[in-house]
Amino acid sequence: MSACALCSSDGELSEFAVVPKEEVVALCDVCHPQVSGDAELDENHWRCLNDSMWSETPAVQVLAWRMLNKLSATDWAGGLLDMLYLEDNLRQWAEYQEVVAPTHVDSLGIELNPGDSVVLIKDLDVKGGGFTAKRGTAVKGIRLVENNHEHIEGRVSGQKIVILTKFVKKQ
């Protein structure tokens, strides 16, 4: 591999994995950050897809399809996309999107991890507990509630309670 799989540049190449498969292609330092989403798309640069979309390498076809799809608002890219026929299995590969699991974050958007300590930022009536957890109360060793990224569990006054993440601040 001595040239960029998408634009044929022989600039500095690095490997890019076309997830979810483990196939990698070599991309130049112009293509790579734009493909990975770390740099804004330079529409003119992607005219190179006009050639590389006809590659016989499935991973390159898939990448070309993805990039054309991102640029499909432009006439030329939309036209190329119409011409780029992918077999069903390649089409599925191309359409794959990584699902980013929602994370537990505190009121400021800071990620919470199991075992963290948090402070309540408002008085909370504890349902069924018959008491109010006061603002400023520290809750140590929290547990994250699976399947609900707005809920954590912690002990206040010796009772295990569920707390909304938007009412806590990480310490």
Residues near Zn ion, by CB under 5 A: 4, 6-7, 9, 28, 31
**Amino acid making up residue 23:** E
Nearer to Zn ion, 26 or 84 (CB): 26
DSSP code at position 88: H
Nearer to Zn ion, 48 or 142 (CB): 48
* Closest to 135 (Cα-Cα) out of 127, 124, 143: 124
User: What is d(CA 142, CA 66) in angstroms, rounded to the nearest whole number?
Assistant: 41
Nearer to Zn ion, 38 or 88 (CB): 38
> CB of residue 41 vs Zn ion: minimum separation in angstroms?
13
The helix-helix angle for 88-95 and 58-70 (nearest 10°) equals 50
Nearer to Zn ion, 34 or 165 (CB): 34
**One-letter-per-residue 3-state SS of 5-60:** CCCCCCCCEEEEECCCCCCEEEEECCHHHHHHCCCCCCHHHHHHHHHHCCCCCHHH
Q: Which helix (H) or strand (E) holds 82?
A: helix 75-83
Nearer to Zn ion, 7 or 152 (CB): 7
> CB of residue 112 vs Zn ion: minimum separation in angstroms?
40
